[in-house]
Structure 1
């Protein structure tokens, strides 16, 4: 049951790396990991203790052994895990400086959503976690940190991304030619990083290292083990595995290369500002025409804040719901009362949406409604909502839908690329004193 839950968590949009945070089964206690308080790194005003590093290393090794991955030397794993811990602390500190914090209500909502996805109530979910050796307190803290770091990236990166019509048109044209009939790719990835401001000698050294890694991979060395030992990418501890991705969600730097590659092929070095990338095409799949279900809906949002409590927001929506049921116009009430200004000006109209466009819990509530039906008030991280479904349709992709999907795909690619650069800049500008000695 625990393994199934973790698989579900890995596929969720909210939790990006819980598998790495907690492991398949946390055996740290039974292994007798020592609580050694020596400092292995100073990170600005924070530290990484040896006990913290040992705990995370033990989880990673447990995972890798269960997956049958050949382990690199202990010091290599420690170095990779330490870098991940350093980056996490830098992000949490940046979020604190930016005033980003997560309320207990939002945290509880997120955990309830995870339990619900696994068809468990909160008590059952907690028992399953603890039966696998995962402390519920540690789990809650991990969820909180995931939400905080995601909001930091949204604030520092996502909201600054702009996509032009020219980029959308070029994307659609490229899709119809270079990617052929391939609709999804399973990629493995290694990054040989080049820090910001690298000299020409540093760049040459990084390229030489990338070429050496490629030679060894093409000679037959294991990609997962090589990624663990050599990659500076954020998926290094997963053996560089990026998983399956739809064609329109491939990073821009990869899309043209992998379209011409065959299964098992290793790319030449791909240079970007973050370094030299090496990609292996593990697999790809073609696709038949897919018909998508779209929903046309309208909603009203009441934000909660220092003035408007949860109870106040829910009560206001219950009153609006009653007025709608008595015949008042939903659109007029949305214009007057909704805190979602982008949709309020359109009478709460969300337009035609497909799965994945909105928050998962919002979509879950909307999916329960028949056309014309009005929801009860429900809460998301943005506040309290009521939603009314107007229509549903089975829709073959039109040009408008293609453009919307293209714009979203480009935005995701740019966000991923700029997030990588933002994190690298955060690391480069920080004071980090690594005091790691072989354990």
Structure 2
């Protein structure tokens, strides 16, 4: 036993520290260390093993994770430069909501469960903060600029009609090989060859999740490309057309979109029996915008004063006309009847929790809102409503494409230096 212990000299602590603290990437004025990368690799490996997703080769997985960390860091830097913040109170609210969604009545119990599973709570908090910032950044820089034309809606409905299967739902997995904006013919060909090689592996029986984790540029790559269940209403015409040719378990041919090259796998399909009725909400709101002059805390303070006045008997519509900074102010803040998906997720989520007559406050990328639900109704799916649902579905797909374009532009403007070396 003693010979085993002394067969080789003990590791030099300074060398160990140097390996742990070595820089694997420089991103503008920040760095990613070997320790941070290794931590993230361990986290992703645990997630993939829990999902029973076969692991890609270690060097491929490490590179994928590093690319994701670089992209996340560039987004965080941009958010900080543009004044986007998530304070601790907002973070606490988000974590409480996550705890409740996971059937934990209190955050302290949720924290105990995370730590039992080996997840550091402080790191978890910062990951959630980063996710919220990323979501708000996307809403501000991408979703708020979406334009969907009537002709796009017409084409979508026509393609959906041809595809048939109203109410069908599909469980899909997806691989995306990105083509950079204004890419040269050589870069387009390189992306095509990468996608074709992935498709060749899949046709030869390779595991889709493993190939996706190693090849895909989509945000869901490290989840094996799993998109979960999607109603045909929430799929782009490009995918719907290809799905007509597939049986469960089959993989599509290569598809080209403005984002790049796509491959999808139909995991399962089922009859969704989409409901004939849609719940609409009639609401009104008061908006206090945030800016460099009016920080979040001040906007919230002003809104809470308005809320108190209304609770003490002031007329909501009059307060909206006087104080709201939204285009609906002159209508007393009236937003008319709203369809699901017609407002940003944070607004809709807060509105959906209110019973008719109740008021509540929430924050979006536009500022602080005071919302009042006036009434709700179930209404038949008319042609107008079908078109609105089509707009929502088109918006989901276009949003993802525009988001990928925006990320590429952000990445192109950043200084990135790789210092990744094989671990000894």
String of CA shifts for 1:119-141, please: whole Å, max 9, x gaps. 52233333332332322221221
Give distance in 2, aligned partners of 1:435 and 1:365.
Answer: 45
- Superposition deviation, residue 302 in structure 1: 4.7
| 8 A Cα contact 1:228 1:238, kept in partner | yes
Q: Which residue of 2 aligns with 1:126?
A: 111
Give distance in 1, aligned partners of 2:259 and 2:340.
Answer: 32
Moved more, 120-129 or 58-67: 120-129
Q: Which residue of 2 aligns with 1:56?
A: 40
Q: Which residue of 1 aligns with 2:230?
A: 245
Q: Which residue of 2 aligns with 1:397?
A: 381
- Superposition deviation, residue 36 in structure 1: 0.4
TM-score (norm 1): 0.82
Give distance in 2, aligned partners of 1:35 and 1:424.
Answer: 31
Mark the CA change 1:252 to 1:82 in structure 2 (over 3 Å): closer, same or farther. farther
Q: Which residue of 1 aligns with 2:398?
A: 414
Give distance in 1, aligned partners of 2:205 and 2:391.
Answer: 39
Q: Which residue of 2 aligns with 1:338?
A: 324
Mark the CA change 1:113 to 1:383 in structure 2 (over 3 Å): closer, same or farther. farther
- Superposition deviation, residue 437 in structure 1: 1.8
Query: Is 1:300 aligned to 2:290, yes or no?
Result: no
Give distance in 2, aligned partners of 1:151 and 1:362.
Answer: 12
Q: Which residue of 2 aligns with 1:163?
A: 148
Query: Is 1:74 aligned to 2:58, yes or no?
Result: yes
Q: Which residue of 2 aligns with 1:18?
A: none
| 8 A Cα contact 2:281 2:373, kept in partner | no
String of CA shifts for 1:60-98, please: whole Å, max 9, x gaps. 111222222222221111011111001111111122232
Mark the CA change 1:127 to 1:350 in structure 2 (over 3 Å): closer, same or farther. farther
| 8 A Cα contact 1:189 1:227, kept in partner | yes
Moved more, 394-403 or 196-205: 196-205
Give distance in 1, aligned partners of 2:409 and 2:289.
Answer: 34
Mark the CA change 1:374 to 1:235 in structure 2 (over 3 Å): closer, same or farther. closer
- Superposition deviation, residue 356 in structure 1: 4.8
Superposed counterparts of 1:28-427, under 5 Å: 36-118=20-102, 119-290=104-275, 291-302=277-288, 305-306=294-295, 308=298, 310-324=300-314, 328=315, 330-339=316-325, 341-358=326-343, 366-367=351-352, 371=356, 373-375=357-359, 377-381=360-364, 382-383=367-368, 385-389=370-374, 391-427=375-411
Q: For 2:55, what is the secondary structure of its paired residue?
A: coil
- Superposition deviation, residue 58 in structure 1: 0.5
- Superposition deviation, residue 311 in structure 1: 4.7
Give distance in 2, aligned partners of 1:258 and 1:190.
Answer: 15
Moved more, 133-142 or 47-56: 133-142
Q: For 1:267, what is the secondary structure of its paired residue?
A: coil
String of CA shifts for 1:297-336, please: whole Å, max 9, x gaps. 3333455744846455323312123225xxx4x4333222
- Superposition deviation, residue 354 in structure 1: 4.4
- Superposition deviation, residue 270 in structure 1: 1.3
Give distance in 2, aligned partners of 1:332 and 1:93.
Answer: 41
Q: For 1:36, what is the secondary structure of its paired residue?
A: helix
Taking only aligned residues, the RMSD between alpha carbons, in angstroms, comes to 2.8
String of CA shifts for 1:360-385, please: whole Å, max 9, x gaps. 676566556554x333x544454252
Q: For 2:336, what is the secondary structure of its paired residue?
A: strand
| 8 A Cα contact 2:60 2:214, kept in partner | yes
Mark the CA change 1:51 to 1:131 in structure 2 (over 3 Å): closer, same or farther. same
Give distance in 2, aligned partners of 1:206 and 1:370.
Answer: 51
- Superposition deviation, residue 53 in structure 1: 0.4
String of CA shifts for 1:326-350, please: whole Å, max 9, x gaps. xx4x4333222334x1332322223
Give distance in 2, aligned partners of 1:407 and 1:352.
Answer: 16
Mark the CA change 1:53 to 1:344 in structure 2 (over 3 Å): closer, same or farther. same
Superposed counterparts of 1:21-32, under 5 Å: none
Residues paired across the two proteins, number: 400
- List alignment gaps of at least 5 residues for structure 2: 1-15
